[in-house]
Structure 1
Amino acid sequence: MMDLRHVQAFCAIVRLGSFSAAAKALSTTQPSISMRIRELERELGVQLFDTKSRRTKLTQKGRKFIFHAEELLKLVDTIQESMADDKIVSGTIRFGATETVAMTWLSSFVESVKKTYPDIVLELDIDLTFDLWAKFHAGMLDVLIVPPPVGELGVYCEPLGEFEYCWMASPKLGIPHKRFSPMELAEYPIITLSASSALYQMTVRWFGDHGSAPNWVNHCSSVSMVAALTQSALGISLLPSTVLKERSAAENLQLLEVHPPFPKLKFFVVYGTYAISSALKAVVDIAKATSTFTPPDTSMDESP
């Protein structure tokens, strides 16, 4: 009979791209993962990975089996969820999110998890989008809250909603109160998050789509630092709309009217299909319930 651990290992390799990353994600060794795959191939009577390729590459049978494997693990997850007792849900979940999440609803999320499932331990990692994805692919994170993901095998991507970033500047710069086009805005010094962020990529594309190139002056790894540099009149920047709710920030920042407006940042909750525990499912459900991101308005959607 097929061993579910073998199927789980197979799906982890496909999703993470290597035997070593799968071993790390499943808290085991690479030789153990290799042994599981050999046993799985023996049970199925087929070769799942192309041993002639230097990269981890599926054979034709392997590509066919991945869909059955994912459905099998999904069914197992459904069964476990239906039989689970909420009072004994436990485990450690490595949770990665961007600073936008940390600045908005992360504290409420952590509080809700601890109150509902006191035996779940959360390991939080706040980082830029690209770096979070790299850690996820390396098997170092179980769940991500990130902007638009790239479609890939073995990954669930569930939309959470949208969040608005607005162009702001210090009143010290003396920028006139008017409606700016992207081309006019590009003439000002611009402070931004580093290239590892989804916001940076969206900004480059937004300017490019309107025939202009941004005048970068600073790249930061923190939204808080971007806000501080902007308040110091070193340039203009995209900042969370919620920043203006803070009295000190509102006194030192000027909202710039721009047309067309910068698209809202879409966020997703991302997790692998290969190792869904009751604890992971509980954390994902609470994230979806506590998120304060607004549901996307499909009637006026402008894709970034």
Structure 2
Amino acid sequence: MKRIALYHLETLMWIDRLGTFAAAAQRLNTTQPAISARVREIEEQLGLSLFQRDGRRMVLTARGRRLVQACEPLRSGLEQVLLEASDFAGATGAVRIGSGEIAAASCLPAFIGAIERDRPGVTMEIDLDLTARLLQQLLSGTRDIVFLAGPVASPGIRTAPIGSVDLVWAAGPAVARAGGFAQDLPVWSLPDHSPIHAVALHTLAVHGLAPRALHTCNNVRTMIEIVCGGQGAAVLPETMVREHLRSGSLVEILPRPEQRIHFEAAIRTREREPVILELFERAGRLKIDANPEHAAQLPH
């Protein structure tokens, strides 16, 4: 009979976090039969059942949960000691990163570059999604760290502010030359769950503007292309249209809104993985520079 080893405890932790043997196998780069075998080995060694089925998910029994809660700090503590001994140079594994589109364009390249440079053994899996879904994925354990528009408050997550982005009201040069909102313009915005949508509505109300139509699109780059093509105006993140404004393919047609979009990095409150915690600490030092003369920077 095999003795219980660290990989057994890691297996229990990931089944608990992800809910299925298949998801844990994918996360640990092994097979579902191997995961099942590990669970059987622990249960035979301890003489107790660790999991029970709840719909499609596998959940820990009461005794199984006590075991994981007691052992998780020991496992992560040992991993932390070993990684610190090598100054994290030996850090390996896959880190699943989620980001909103604006955060991805504004700060993610610097973060990715720093990981590539300093943690070459870490593999990144990056997905872009909406803030609401990113939060759900983070809490369910299918994302390790996310970058999103904030502020976000949840007892299940821990956040670090990483700066804010200016917003600009922009249109194509032909629209601007024709007088901007002196015409009967359509307006483009992100959907109503986005803070940018609220800024658009507020600005229109403040200036007493009634656009011909208020269209929505869930992709900022597509909106930029539409507005560059002369199809109305939009409130857009300055970091994503900076070069368009410099080249003249977009022109600001209203004063910049006072409101800015704030961004945060987030992990689970219960996160214990040393590599994720170290990367979160790095993310907290990432600053989106709203100054048009500078790009986002991440200290070593």
TM over 0.5: yes
Deviation digits for residues 129-168 of structure 1, max 9, x if unmatched?
3666687789876543334678587xx6442434235352
Tell me which residue corresponds to 1:13: 15
Query: Which residue, out of 98, 110, 119, partners 2:100?
Result: 98
Aligned residues: 270
Tell me which residue corresponds to 1:219: 217
What is the CA–CA distance in structure 2 between the aligned matches of 1:83 and 1:42, rounded to whole Å? Answer: 35
Residue 252 of structure 1 aligns to which amino acid in structure 2? V
Structure number with greater Rg is: 2
Does the C-alpha gap of structure 1 residues 283 and 127 become closer, same or farther in structure 2, counting only changes over 3 Å? same
What is the CA–CA distance in structure 1 between the aligned matches of 2:6 and 2:166, rounded to whole Å? Answer: 44
Calculate the TM-score normalised by the size of structure 2. Answer: 0.66
1:93·1:122 contact (CA, 8 Å) conserved in 2? yes
Deviation digits for residues 48-81 of structure 1, max 9, x if unmatched?
3323655333433344444334423332332223
Does the C-alpha gap of structure 1 residues 140 and 274 become closer, same or farther in structure 2, counting only changes over 3 Å? same
SS at match of 1:56: strand
2:139·2:268 contact (CA, 8 Å) conserved in 1? no
Tell me which residue corresponds to 2:252: 253
Query: Which residue, out of 76, 79, 84, partners 2:78?
Result: 76
Tell me which residue corresponds to 1:292: 288
What is the CA–CA distance in structure 1 between the aligned matches of 2:233 and 2:270, rounded to whole Å? Answer: 41
Residue 9 of structure 1 aligns to which amino acid in structure 2? T
Deviation digits for residues 219-256 of structure 1, max 9, x if unmatched?
143x2222232344534444223346431368523345
Tell me which residue corresponds to 1:264: 261
Question: How far is the alpha carbon of 1:128 from its aligned partner?
Answer: 1.9
Does the C-alpha gap of structure 1 residues 125 and 132 become closer, same or farther in structure 2, counting only changes over 3 Å? farther
Question: How far is the alpha carbon of 1:25 from its aligned partner?
Answer: 0.9
Residue 161 of structure 1 aligns to which amino acid in structure 2? I
Tell me which residue corresponds to 1:228: 225
Does the C-alpha gap of structure 1 residues 64 and 220 become closer, same or farther in structure 2, counting only changes over 3 Å? same
What is the CA–CA distance in structure 2 between the aligned matches of 1:291 and 1:169, rounded to whole Å? Answer: 25
SS at match of 1:34: helix
1:166·1:255 contact (CA, 8 Å) conserved in 2? no
What is the CA–CA distance in structure 1 between the aligned matches of 2:149 and 2:71, rounded to whole Å? Answer: 27
Question: How far is the alpha carbon of 1:100 from its aligned partner?
Answer: 2.4
2:50·2:61 contact (CA, 8 Å) conserved in 1? yes
**Which residues in structure 2 correspond to 1:108-187 (within 5 Å)?**
108-117=110-119, 119-120=120-121, 122-123=123-124, 125-129=126-130, 142-147=144-149, 157-164=158-165, 166=167, 168-170=169-171, 171=176, 174-175=180-181
Tell me which residue corresponds to 2:295: none
**Which residues in structure 2 correspond to 1:237-248 (within 5 Å)?**
237-243=234-240, 245-246=242-243, 247-248=246-247
Unpaired runs of 5+ residues, structure 2, are: 206-210, 291-300
Q: Which runs of structure 1 show a deviation greater than 6 angstroms over 4 or more consecutive aligned residues?
A: 133-140, 204-209, 271-275
Question: How far is the alpha carbon of 1:24 from its aligned partner?
Answer: 0.9
Does the C-alpha gap of structure 1 residues 139 and 25 become closer, same or farther in structure 2, counting only changes over 3 Å? farther
SS at match of 1:47: coil
Calculate the TM-score normalised by the size of structure 1. Answer: 0.65
What is the CA–CA distance in structure 1 between the aligned matches of 2:159 and 2:148, rounded to whole Å? Answer: 10
Tell me which residue corresponds to 2:24: 22
Kindly indicate whether structure 1 or structure 2 has the higher relative contact order, using CA contacts under 8 Å at least 6 residues apart. Answer: 1
1:73·1:273 contact (CA, 8 Å) conserved in 2? no
1:21·1:139 contact (CA, 8 Å) conserved in 2? no
What is the CA–CA distance in structure 2 between the aligned matches of 1:63 and 1:293, rounded to whole Å? Answer: 44
What is the CA–CA distance in structure 1 between the aligned matches of 2:145 and 2:56, rounded to whole Å? Answer: 29
SS at match of 1:146: strand
Question: How far is the alpha carbon of 1:268 from its aligned partner?
Answer: 1.5
Question: How far is the alpha carbon of 1:273 from its aligned partner?
Answer: 6.5
What is the CA–CA distance in structure 1 between the aligned matches of 2:25 and 2:251, rounded to whole Å? Answer: 50
Tell me which residue corresponds to 1:55: 57
2:163·2:264 contact (CA, 8 Å) conserved in 1? yes
2:100·2:147 contact (CA, 8 Å) conserved in 1? yes
What is the CA–CA distance in structure 2 between the aligned matches of 1:110 and 1:54, rounded to whole Å? Answer: 34
